Amino acid sequence: MSVFKIFDVAGSGMSAQMLRLNTVASNMANADTMASHPEDVYKARHPVFESVMNRVNNTDSGIQVRVKELVESETPAVAQYMPGNPLADEDGYVYRPAINTVEEMADMISASRSYQNNVDVLTTAKEMLIRTLSLGRQ
């Protein structure tokens, strides 16, 4: 595997984790939204990743990450009795998404750390290339 493929692999990991952070942010931003009907409630989204092996000249040139799909949560909406709310249905209920903000925060921390790990890989690879180039100067 070419040393330059490290940048492609780590870059694909960073892009995947950035999408994961964006979906977590969207889920958390909509955690307290309400709707009049359970069908209209925001559904939490989560990315599904897959690894993609690149082959060049019959050799493995790196395994990258890509988003296979974004799936919506199947968890039913939570009914909350609030008869004074303008969004309340005829029975006095409003519906909220079943989003656990603690789980979302844990997912955010995990995505952030994974992103940082990929940054560290890129930094280390760059430093190694610079050191290699400096060998010819001496």
Note whether residue 109 is domain-resident: yes
The partner residues of 126 in beta bridges, in order of sequence, read: none
Rounded average pLDDT over 14-20: 95
Rounded average pLDDT over 108-132: 94
Note whether residue 130 is domain-resident: yes
**Domain span holding position 116:** 5-33+45-73+100-135
Residue 52: predicted pLDDT: 82
Question: Could you tell me the pTM of the whole model?
Answer: 0.82
The mean predicted confidence, pLDDT, of the chain is 89
Residue 58: predicted pLDDT: 55
Over residues 28-85, the pLDDT tens digits come to: 999 999 999 999 999 999 999 988 876 555 556 668 888 999 999 999 999 999 999 9
Domain count across the chain: 1
Note whether residue 84 is domain-resident: no
Q: Which of 33, 32, 37 has its CA nearest to residue 88? A: 37
Note whether residue 60 is domain-resident: yes
Residue 116: predicted pLDDT: 97
